[in-house]
């Protein structure tokens, strides 16, 4: 059986749903089909995200992408209607730097503030006075987002776009894209696992960690792959209220923690040489918590010497191995193949603006809200990275 759609979006989690939502919002009236192989989203990055929203990035585009989400959060009903509710836990982010990293941190704070963020650089007594639970040995400064930073529920956020897209007549198809037919510099159709085929006017890659695999079906190299990350849930009995109000804190070592209800979540990205194989999400390396997380966490926040691990999960980062930044826009030669990929662990907060940007490109051929030209695929072909320094 063969059918046709004006836009086929592969992947129906946060990125695909935001793209579909904004295509309709921008007046696209054609047939839009979102192909999603797992409507339970069990392994999707979105479902396993920590939900953090921050303005503390080094790349101006990343700051703007997250600010778009913050603007939406400030008045959800304006975009999604009166019933929309996604609680925003606005505790802030606190990013710590050693003496070596201090100048970079200060420069990043300047960039953020020049774009309207309220990030302050705290040093010495100002830092330890504000966060009395913190040991500041080896810390030269901390950058703290005093407002408009925190975390949200990832699936509630995704649900707004998905429901909004469906309400506007977008079709969600439970199937897997297993082949792409390319001819004359265009994707002509997608082949489905069920045996069907959909001819398409435009194709959007919203396949998250599997974006590289999808691009390969068209013979295109996209350096995005799944990278397994662990999040550990810990209980600290009778923790002081100040710790429950803590920001998402990133140590100089890269270890992070934040409150999660009455508990806390914590983790760290492994060294490149220690990346665990991305073959399943069921196996959790508890030894990694013992060796790579707990000692550093307890050294920075001694209250965490007495904790119990009460849960853990693993998820795949949609990791761009070139520069840990997103790839947004069409392929330079296969012009109707649009990427919305490679967010490397910060895509939940950027999905709204990235989806909108992708929709703008499809409907008008140019960016209108945020100029994301530097995130284009061209830099991949040129091997010219645009590094993001604040990857957590």
Min CB(349)–ligand FAD separation in Å: 4
**Count of H-run helices and E-run strands, the chain:** 12, 18
Helices (H), 315-376: 351-364
Q: Which is nearer to ligand FAD, 230 or 294 (CB)?
A: 230
Q: Which is nearer to ligand FAD, 13 or 134 (CB)?
A: 13
Q: Which is nearer to ligand FAD, 140 or 209 (CB)?
A: 209
Min CB(237)–ligand FAD separation in Å: 25
Q: For residue 262, give the DSSP letter.
A: T
> Which position has the token pair 């059986």?
1
Min CB(192)–ligand FAD separation in Å: 8
Q: Contact residues for ligand FAD (CB under 6 A)?
A: 10-11, 13-16, 35-38, 41, 44-46, 48-52, 176-177, 206-210, 214, 229, 231, 315-318, 343, 345-349
Q: Which is nearer to ligand FAD, 132 or 277 (CB)?
A: 277
Q: What is the 3-state secondary structure (H, E, C) of 288-331?
A: HHHHHHHHHHHHHCHHHHCCEEEEEEEEEEEEECCCCCCEEEEC
Min CB(298)–ligand FAD separation in Å: 22
Q: Which is nearer to ligand FAD, 109 or 312 (CB)?
A: 312
Cα(258)–Cα(237) distance, integer angstroms: 15
Min CB(45)–ligand FAD separation in Å: 3
Give the CA distances from residue 146 to residues 63, 134, 168, 222, 271, in Å, rounded to whole numbers and listed in that order.
15, 17, 37, 37, 30
Q: Which is nearer to ligand FAD, 177 or 357 (CB)?
A: 177
Min CB(99)–ligand FAD separation in Å: 27
Min CB(231)–ligand FAD separation in Å: 5
Return phi, psi of residue 237, to 5°: -65, 140
Within a 10 A sphere around the Cβ of 388, how many other Cβ atoms? Answer: 20
Q: Which is nearer to ligand FAD, 176 or 378 (CB)?
A: 176
Contacts of 365 (CB under 8 A, 6+ apart): none
Cα(290)–Cα(293) distance, integer angstroms: 6
State the pairing for strand pair 197-205/337-341: parallel
H or E element: which one contains 111?
A: helix 102-114
Radius of gyration for the chain, computed over Cα atoms and rounded to the nearest angstrom = 21
């Amino acid at each position: 059986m063969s059918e046709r759609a004006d836009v086929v979006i592969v992947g129906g989690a946060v990125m695909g749903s935001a793209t579909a939502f904004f295509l309709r919002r921008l007046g696209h009236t054609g047939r839009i089909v979102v192909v999603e192989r797992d409507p339970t989203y069990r392994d999707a990055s979105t479902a396993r995200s920590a939900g953090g929203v921050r303005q503390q990035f080094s790349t101006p585009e990343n700051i703007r992408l997250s600010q778009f989400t913050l603007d939406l959060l400030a008045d959800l009903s304006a975009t999604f209607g009166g019933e929309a509710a996604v609680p925003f836990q606005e505790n802030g982010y606190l990013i710590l730097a050693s003496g070596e990293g201090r100048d970079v941190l200060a420069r990043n704070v300047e960039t953020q503030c020049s774009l309207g963020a309220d990030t302050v650089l705290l040093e010495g007594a100002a830092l330890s006075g504000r966060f009395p639970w913190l040991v500041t040995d080896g810390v030269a400064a901390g950058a703290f987002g005093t407002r408009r930073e925190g975390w949200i529920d990832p699936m509630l956020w995704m649900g707004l776009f998905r429901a909004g897209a469906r309400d506007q007549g977008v079709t969600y198809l439970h199937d897997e894209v297993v082949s792409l037919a390319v001819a004359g510099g265009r994707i002509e159709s997608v082949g489905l696992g069920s045996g069907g085929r959909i001819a398409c006017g435009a194709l959007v890659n919203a396949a998250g960690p599997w974006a590289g695999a999808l691009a390969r079906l068209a013979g295109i190299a996209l350096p995005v792959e799944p990278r397994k990350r662990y999040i550990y849930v810990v209980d600290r009995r009778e923790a002081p209220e100040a710790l429950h109000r803590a920001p998402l804190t990133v140590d100089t070592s890269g270890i992070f923690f934040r409150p999660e209800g009455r508990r806390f979540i914590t983790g760290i990205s492994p060294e490149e040489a220690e990346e665990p194989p991305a073959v399943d999400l069921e196996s959790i390396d508890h030894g990694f918590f013992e060796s790579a997380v707990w000692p550093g966490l307890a050294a920075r926040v001694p209250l965490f010497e007495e904790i119990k691990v009460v849960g853990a999960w693993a998820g795949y980062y949609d990791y761009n191995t070139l520069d840990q930044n997103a790839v947004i826009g069409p392929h330079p030669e296969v012009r109707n193949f649009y990427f919305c990929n490679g967010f490397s662990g910060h895509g939940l907060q950027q999905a709204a603006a990235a989806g909108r940007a992708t929709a703008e490109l499809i409907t008008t051929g140019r960016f209108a809200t945020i100029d994301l030209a530097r995130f284009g695929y061209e830099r991949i072909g040129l091997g010219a990275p645009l590094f993001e320094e604040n990857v957590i």
